[in-house]
Amino acid sequence: RMSRHAQKLRDHDTNPCVAETDATTKCMNDNNYNKDMCTDYFLKYKNCRKFWHGIMMQRKRNGVKPEMPSADERKKILESMG
């Protein structure tokens, strides 16, 4: 059984970067935990977090709830950006 924190991290509605997290973890596992082999994955994860954190802060400033858009809403945001 996963802890509540672990479940939250796996929840696509609260964590927009589940796919990037999984890809990074897989790369680390596949490359015997050699970080140098997974630089691209870490960068994609970092960019994902930075992007959605910016969206979340903007929504917070504008009083929009929930502060993190749902998975469906995020998909629409990304589609609208091209």
| Residue 29, pLDDT score | 97
| Residue 82, pLDDT score | 83
What is the C-alpha end-to-end distance of the chain, expressed in Å?
Answer: 39
pLDDT tens-digit readout, 6-58? 787 788 888 899 999 999 999 999 999 999 999 999 999 999 999 999 999 99
- Structure token pair of residue 22: 């999984």
* Structural domain that includes position 26: 4-80
- Structure token pair of residue 25: 């973890």
| Residue 8, pLDDT score | 77
Q: What's the structural domain count of the chain?
A: 1
